[in-house]
Structure 1
Amino acid sequence: MKRLLSFILSLIIVFSLIGCSSKTSKTAENVDLSNWDAVLKASKGTTVTFYGWGGNELTNKWVDNYLAKAVKNNYDITLKRVPMNIDDILHKLLAEKQAGSKNGSIDIVWINGENFYNAKKANLLYGPFSESLPNFKEKVDTASPEVTYDFGFPVEGYEVPFGKAQFVMLYNSDKVSKTFNNTKELMDFVKSNQGKFTYPAPPDFTGSAFVRTIICNLVDPNKLSDIKADKAEVQKVIQPALDYLNELKPYLWNKGKSYPATIAQLDSMYSDGQLLASMTYNPYGTTSRIENGELPSGTKSLLLDKGTVGNTHFLAIAGNSQNKAGAMAVINQILSAEAQALKYDPKNWGDLPVISYDKLQTDEKKLFDNIKLGQDSIPQNIMLQQRIPELRAELVPIIEKLWLENVAKGD
């Protein structure tokens, strides 16, 4: 997740320009968005723009090949996917808000954590709207902390869960005879295979998730749940993890003198045989990558016994969206059993579902039961049992800075 200093600074300016909240149930056409029949009627024949990350081919294909066709068939909505990085999306939202535009170009936004918090605080988002969506009320565990909070920030109905991700370790079973299931075994593995393991340098998202997973396996996560976002206080709590990473360091690739800058670099080194292990925050996305030769055929996944960090990704609606009704209809489709099951299938995406299996009808459950996960994958029920909710977003940059100062630059 990117933290945009320029965006945050811009918020200070925009507060003085915003005089009203997005809390309205009417569009410019005076549509009552709390009335689902009225929403469907208003959205018929319209176009909805979907702004979000476009860096994954499977994700893009799911939106273009399934979702766009589904909303066209079900609601007569034309879906336009606009690939854009979140920093550019936020600047666009802000610029249109500052210009006083009531007919913005953005409808749906794929957004998370601190970016969501800042956008919501600046009244750049429409809401609350989640309770107006039939599939949200009927199929989602609305009381789950992973639905009501986004990286520690209260959602309050201004965004709806889209899917789930969870950190897992990857290893080449053709070359590794003894794996690791906890931090002690990981240390033994790295020491026994010197130079064959490393991780991306934070703030790379996956590398940062690895560091947070190590922290949560060595430190009680509850100690970080309410801690003040103060560098000195955080360091006191996570010092055991920093010590562990420093002990690990001399046995890493290049003796820990440098780290891959991105997860793509790490995966390339792993695929080339330089490393015996890699990692990912998209656990079921590895199957297709193995099939297309991007990862070694012997790749398998594993979890640490105390769990790995996981988060929920969300969708929001722009406050000045021209088509809030259409946006709501599209998001409701995304929360259907069909959409979530297809997204769960590793052939299509491999994204963990956000709807509750227990709330589904028998025929809907079969959609998930019939999906075949790759031999590299860990069953979803085990994944969820060993899932650690993400730390508060405001702690992440502090942890990354502490890693840089105490591990990367340490002796």
Structure 2
Amino acid sequence: MVESEYGPWSFRLATSRMSRRGFVAAAGMTAAAMMLGGVLAGCSASGEGSSGNGAGAAASGDIDYTDWDAVLAAAKGQTVSWYGWGGDEARNTWINTVLAPALKDKYDITLDLVGMDINDILTQLSGEMQAGVTEGSIDFIWINGENFYSCKDNGYLWGPFTGYLPNFNDYIDAESPEVAYDFGSPTEGFECPYGKAQMQMWYNSDIVDAPPTTVEEFKAFCQAHPGQVTYPEPGDFTGTAFISCLIAGVIGKDEFEKLSSMDAPTEEGVLAIVEPGLDYLRELSPYLWKEGATFPADASTVATMYADGELVLNMGYGAPQDLVNTGQLPESTRSFILNTGTVGNSNFMAVAANAPHKAAALVAINEVVSPEMQLSIYENLDNISVLDMAKLPESESAAFAEVPLGSTQIPLDELLDHRIAEAAGPVIPILEKLWLERVAQG
């Protein structure tokens, strides 16, 4: 499900995959960013056909990318490669059985899905760029966060390109913070979003009569179930996201979302915003598992403890419907969110600066964000759509509302009405440090 920092197409399993975002592995994201920062420092791309080329994109060929008919004509008959994390079989199946046939039937484009760890993808991309390969092996990439920032900063991505996409222009709110920023980094048209995930909690309704809906009720819930509630130690993506939800519940959505636009945060500046939330977490700890003296290392450990009945509550990006369907969790499992909201994130697609099939990449990306494909993603992978429902024709927006939901799934409009933007990438390590010092050691 979620991938590195924050999630793939399907965010439903509360396993170790819950620590993955887009397809950047949480541990690997920083390492890959550091690799790019060190290996690519001083050897940025020349900028031709990459960062800032805008309407001059035709420099990479004779295509006028502002003419969509010309793009379609150029893309016809091409094979386009999509590189990304390959560990989600449900996502892979959807791409190969729904998206790929549609691209072939509608545009005569063959889609080559290449599943690979993000570190390996970036190594391949940087190696080809440093070698001066003008037509590389990668067309478009599932990339997020610090890896996106490093690649864009070094001129390894092509764009801006989102303005060329009819579906982006027609159905996506380009001014939305979740579109304009990726983990606090301005996207500036170099990424197109394709799916959203949002933090949810779940419980066994045979054991718990009613879940908490506010942070005050959550504290009372923990007091009523001493030692049966915990969360992964922040540093694990799910743990950091979960404390973000509770902190936001204490300080308010608007105050918390100040963290999403910080590009050069200081510890003092972050503390000034989140201190009341940290105080709340410290007060909560005595009622948690092992009285808050220690916390599980990762989301998969919490998931196991919950499945074994040691805990009465679990959390993750998305609903655990597939775990219920496969019998790994009881049918009485239900999901909930706090009335004060829960944090969410978006996943993105970017085009390599030396992509050999840029026209086909544009057509494929445009198809992914079509109303038809976004609806199919929602139906099959439980991903929140990146489309602005207010921009859709009424019949198409109604189709999203009419999708049958499983017993653990929360309606789309309810999730979106309670959605909080995540903290920016540079804020995360500061927030985790403050938690360690003021909650775990407090």
- Assess, with a 3 A threshold, how the Cα gap between structure 1 residues 27 and 175 changes in structure 2: closer, same or farther: farther
Q: Please, which of 92, 96, 105 is the counterpart of residue 60 of structure 1?
A: 92
AA aligned opposite 1:19: S
Q: Is the 8 A contact 2:36 2:151 kept in 1?
A: no
Q: Is the 8 A contact 2:36 2:150 kept in 1?
A: no
2:126 is the counterpart of 1:94: yes
Q: Please, which of 95, 110, 114 is the counterpart of residue 82 of structure 1?
A: 114
Match for residue 208 of structure 1?
Answer: 240
Q: Deviations over 1:340-378 (max 9, x none)?
A: 001111xx1000001122222344335324311123222
TM-score, structure 2 as length reference: 0.86
Match for residue 42 of structure 2?
Answer: 16
2:268 is the counterpart of 1:221: no
Q: Please, which of 296, 312, 315 is the counterpart of residue 349 of structure 2?
A: 315
Match for residue 151 of structure 1?
Answer: 183
Alpha-carbon distance in structure 2 between the residues aligned to 1:397 and 1:296: 36
Q: Please, which of 391, 397, 420 is the counterpart of residue 388 of structure 1?
A: 420
Alpha-carbon distance in structure 1 between the residues aligned to 2:405 and 2:32: 42
Match for residue 14 of structure 2?
Answer: none
Alpha-carbon distance in structure 2 between the residues aligned to 1:375 and 1:6: 38
Shift of 1:250: 2.7
- Assess, with a 3 A threshold, how the Cα gap between structure 1 residues 46 and 4 changes in structure 2: closer, same or farther: same
- Assess, with a 3 A threshold, how the Cα gap between structure 1 residues 77 and 149 changes in structure 2: closer, same or farther: same
Q: Please, which of 358, 361, 372 is the counterpart of residue 404 of structure 2?
A: 372
State how many pairs are aligned: 406
Give the match's secondary structure for 2:196.
strand
Alpha-carbon distance in structure 1 between the residues aligned to 2:234 and 2:354: 35
AA aligned opposite 1:303: I
- Assess, with a 3 A threshold, how the Cα gap between structure 1 residues 223 and 389 changes in structure 2: closer, same or farther: closer
Alpha-carbon distance in structure 2 between the residues aligned to 1:130 and 1:271: 43
Match for residue 21 of structure 2?
Answer: none
Q: Is the 8 A contact 2:260 2:421 kept in 1?
A: no
Q: Please, which of 340, 355, 362 is the counterpart of residue 328 of structure 1?
A: 362
Q: Please, which of 362, 368, 385 is the counterpart of residue 353 of structure 1?
A: 385
- Assess, with a 3 A threshold, how the Cα gap between structure 1 residues 250 and 4 changes in structure 2: closer, same or farther: same
- Assess, with a 3 A threshold, how the Cα gap between structure 1 residues 10 and 358 changes in structure 2: closer, same or farther: closer
Shift of 1:53: 2.1
Alpha-carbon distance in structure 1 between the residues aligned to 2:260 and 2:88: 32
Question: Considering only aligned residues, what root-mean-square deviation do their CA atoms show, in Å?
Answer: 2.0
Alpha-carbon distance in structure 1 between the residues aligned to 2:391 and 2:239: 35
Q: Deviations over 1:125-172 (max 9, x none)?
A: 110110111111112122322222222222111111101111111111
Alpha-carbon distance in structure 2 between the residues aligned to 1:226 and 1:179: 32
Alpha-carbon distance in structure 2 between the residues aligned to 1:310 and 1:216: 12
Alpha-carbon distance in structure 2 between the residues aligned to 1:341 and 1:310: 19
Which sits farther off after the overlay, 321-330 or 45-54? Answer: 45-54
Calculate percent identity across the aligned residue pairs. 42
Q: Is the 8 A contact 2:257 2:422 kept in 1?
A: no
Q: Is the 8 A contact 1:7 1:91 kept in 2?
A: no
Alpha-carbon distance in structure 1 between the residues aligned to 2:393 and 2:186: 30
Q: Please, which of 136, 145, 149 is the counterpart of residue 104 of structure 1?
A: 136
Alpha-carbon distance in structure 2 between the residues aligned to 1:57 and 1:265: 22
Matches within 5 A, 1:99-138: 99-138=131-170
Give the match's secondary structure for 1:26.
helix
Shift of 1:336: 1.0
2:104 is the counterpart of 1:69: no
Structure 1 unaligned blocks of 5 or more? none
Structure 2 unaligned blocks of 5 or more? 6-25
Alpha-carbon distance in structure 2 between the residues aligned to 1:37 and 1:371: 33
Q: Is the 8 A contact 1:199 1:210 kept in 2?
A: yes
AA aligned opposite 2:300: A
Shift of 1:321: 0.9
Shift of 1:253: 2.0
TM-score, structure 1 as length reference: 0.92
Shift of 1:189: 0.8
Match for residue 258 of structure 1?
Answer: 294
- Assess, with a 3 A threshold, how the Cα gap between structure 1 residues 329 and 27 changes in structure 2: closer, same or farther: farther
Give the match's secondary structure for 2:169.
helix
Shift of 1:225: 5.2
Give the match's secondary structure for 1:167.
strand
